[in-house]
């Protein structure tokens, strides 16, 4: 039970990945080692970084607030899940937004955007530093210490599944825009939750104005973008190219493990 989110999300990755492979969309990349970056990043996050952060947060609280252990455990499960999901998603929105605003944070996050095609394998593609400082993971550790371990498990199952689905090579929301009578549902959904259309706009090499995208930062709830003015509703106008402009094509180890591994590519941020 304690690893249910990992098993379910892993199964989703395998099933959708197989479908993408059969459809010829998993290997459709401009850089030769993109899949290696995706696979290694997923493994280090799921098997090492995420459990280590949750454990460290809980251990630290045993020293700083020993009387708080299990203090929220009487909460009904539905309230506990909301207490995990909403603040965690809010924290992730601002962390992600700052990752595209502050140069030193973009330096941490840019690996995610060097992917040249949308695919479920891109969902956990990050430099290790991005994961280490991700506030929603530390928040999950605090919630576990306070007695909401089951709610954290359910929440991470929701976050993980949503993260995989919005990065999918299949634009599964296309029918929401194509079928006229579904249009009201599309209008409602795209303002409250992240969809492939809005997240693809975020991953575009350039937006409709010819600039690097600076919108659609929500992880699960798109309502944060709606409220804070970063929403860009492209609907069924999907980008033609993904990635970052003038990408030098850094080697996989520099993308994942800089500064321990550096790039020799001219113009690289990871020299």
User: 182 vs 149, 171, 188, 252, CA distance in Å?
Assistant: 37, 16, 10, 42
Task: Tell me what the pLDDT averaged over the chain comes to.
Answer: 91
> Are 199 and 166 a contacting pair, CB within 8 Å?
yes
Q: What pLDDT is attached to residue 31? A: 80
Give residue-wise pLDDT tens across range 223-245. 999 999 999 998 888 998 999 99
Q: What pLDDT is attached to residue 4? A: 62
Termini Cα distance of the chain: 43
How far apart, in whole angstroms, are the C-alpha atoms of residue 8 and residue 162?
12
Give residue-wise pLDDT tens across range 120-146. 999 999 999 999 999 999 999 999 999
CA angle 119-163-77, nearest 5°? 155
How far apart, in whole angstroms, are the C-alpha atoms of residue 149 and residue 88?
14
Which pTM value belongs to this model?
0.93
Q: What pLDDT is attached to residue 70? A: 92
Percent of the chain at pLDDT > 70 equals 98
Q: What pLDDT is attached to residue 139? A: 96
């Amino acid at each position: 039970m304690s690893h249910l989110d990992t098993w379910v999300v892993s199964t989703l990755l395998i099933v959708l990945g197989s479908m993408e492979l059969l459809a010829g969309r998993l290997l459709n990349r401009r850089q030769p080692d993109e899949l290696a970056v995706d696979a290694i990043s997923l493994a280090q996050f799921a098997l090492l970084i995420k459990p280590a952060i949750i454990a460290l947060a809980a251990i630290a609280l045993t020293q700083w607030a020993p009387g708080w252990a299990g203090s929220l455990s009487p909460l009904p499960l539905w309230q506990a899940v909301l207490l995990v999901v909403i603040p965690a998603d809010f924290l992730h929105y601002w962390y992600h937004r700052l990752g595209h605003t502050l140069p030193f944070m973009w330096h941490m996050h840019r690996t995610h955007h060097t992917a040249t095609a949308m695919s479920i394998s891109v969902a956990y593609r990050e430099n290790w530093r991005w994961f280490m400082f991700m506030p929603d993971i530390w928040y999950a550790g605090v919630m576990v210490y306070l007695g909401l371990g089951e709610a954290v498990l359910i929440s991470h199952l929701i976050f993980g599944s949503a993260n995989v689905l919005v990065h999918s090579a299949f634009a599964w929301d296309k029918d929401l825009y194509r079928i006229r009578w579904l249009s009201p549902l599309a209008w409602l959904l795209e303002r409250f939750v992240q969809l492939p259309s809005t997240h693809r706009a975020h991953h575009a090499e350039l937006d409709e104005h010819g600039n690097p995208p600076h919108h659609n930062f929500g992880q699960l709830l798109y309502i944060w973008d709606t409220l804070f003015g970063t929403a860009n509703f492209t609907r069924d106008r999907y980008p033609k190219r993904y990635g970052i402009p003038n990408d030098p094509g850094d080697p996989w180890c520099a993308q994942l493990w800089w500064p321990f591994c550096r790039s020799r590519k001219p113009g690289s941020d990871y020299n």
